Amino acid sequence: MRNHNKNTYTQLELLNIMQRYNSTDRLIIKTNLQETKKTYNFGNADIVNDLGYKEEKIKGWYNKANKTIQVFEDALRLAVHYGFDITELME
């Protein structure tokens, strides 16, 4: 892992975060993911190489014309691997 995320949550907190994530506007998540990528210095190739996602899937996460966002589990994997708090995607 590139960075170690020190955030820990209770099960109830994690459930609340997941519900918040799933109800957040997709455009907000896409915009925040793009900013997170810049802030934490990782790119699509890093995600492919580090986490094994397909390039096409990742491109869909950033394409604002495409309504697809990463599912909560994928977003959480990114947050843990690259050392940011998943709530940054919802703010």
Residues 6+ apart with CB under 8 A from 32: 88, 89, 90, 91
The SS3 of residue 54 is: coil
| Fold held by 25-89 | 434 Repressor (Amino-terminal Domain) (1.10.260)
Give me the tens of pLDDT residue by residue for the chain, a chain 91 residues long.
Answer: 444 557 788 999 999 999 999 999 999 999 999 999 999 999 999 999 999 999 999 999 988 888 888 999 999 999 999 999 999 999 9
